[in-house]
Chain A
């Protein structure tokens, strides 16, 4: 039995969509889970001061709820704050059943990938070399 909260995110996912990935304020993270063929794209839009003002996601298969929640959580947070979001928090909030736990891992990884992408862009813009 799935908890109503995860069903809600499944039926009414928030922030589905895409940003222009060439926008310098946008960081794009794409991650995949090979076991089930899951795929998640998460994008964050930063304002000039290092805060995330908007987010979008696109996912295939079971990771919809986790991605939807992730996009809600990143909004209004700074880069450092979102990097502390852990998969277990996502899983707990959604009452994810064991079979969907990997989705929360994917969501955490997607957030990190999106931020990293943004950092890379920023570094390139200022002429620095980005160190992972």
Chain B
């Protein structure tokens, strides 16, 4: 299945490249061909014939279908100047520096130029986030068109969402599972008695604890456990033991919840 998709993607990449500079009508035709072959087209606005002279933005990126980001040939062309960029310049067009709309195929790790793995350097992430916020600051885009300002606002929201997801261990774990096609089933009821009993007792202790010293102590114990299970998650995930990884995530969810309760009480 994946191979078929990669084939389609490379075909669309080729045809896109060839037709990037052609007038709107033939570009539109290209899109309808691609459209019939692929199921997922996230950018619907691209397919409305625009009355302006600007070429339609072709949003198909080969990355949408291939699993690895090592394939850096982006086939998205800039809506403004039509040039298509070789590297992952998803925010600004390299040629004309106009702000691009959100590309859903760009994942959070790519935004911060990080390797797609669970372990990361929090300091470096924070630094990169601050850099992004500077680039996308409203004041810096105020002299751009309304369209670009809207794009910048969307991009900014995405960057913030990405940062929030990647900073916390639990959300990072769930995200990386999702990227690998393993969605943590949140609806399922857990009946593991050992885990539940432990959490029950933990929550009871928290609700009975009344002084902040005791709560702090409990909190550091829970943080310990979080770290422990986070490490187990990494191990399970990297060895592709996804069921075990999911269990680690479930535990982490409970410990996070317990931490939240403690914070509320403090």
Contact = CB atoms under 8 A, between A and B. Distances in A.
Contact of B253 (A30, A34, A60): A34
A34 B256 contact: no
B187 A30 contact: no
Interface in A44-77: 58, 60-61
Interface residues of B, number: 25
B242 to A, nearest CB: 15
Given A32-B195, A34-B254, A109 B200 contact: no
A32 B190 contact: yes
A30 B254 CA distance: 14
Given A30-B200, A60-B203, A102-B187, A37 B193 contact: no
Contacts of B36: none
Contacts of A91: none
Contacts of A39: 196, 199-200, 203, 254
Contacts of A105: 187, 189
B180 interface: no
Contact of B190 (A31, A41, A58): A31
Interface in A1-42: 30-37, 39, 41
A90 interface: no
A113 interface: yes
A115 interface: no
Contacts, number: 57
Interface in B194-240: 195-197, 199-200, 203-204, 207
The prevalent SS among residues of A at the interface is mixed
Contact of B196 (A31, A36, A61): A31
Interface residues of A, number: 18
Given A37-B254, A37-B257, A109 B203 contact: no
B257 A30 contact: no
Nearest to B196: A30
Interface of B: 184, 186-193, 195-197, 199-200, 203-204, 207, 249-250, 253-254, 256-258, 261
Given A34-B186, A113-B191, 13 more contacts: A30-B197, A31-B189, A32-B189, A32-B191, A34-B190, A35-B186, A35-B187, A35-B253, A36-B257, A41-B200, A61-B257, A102-B187, A105-B189
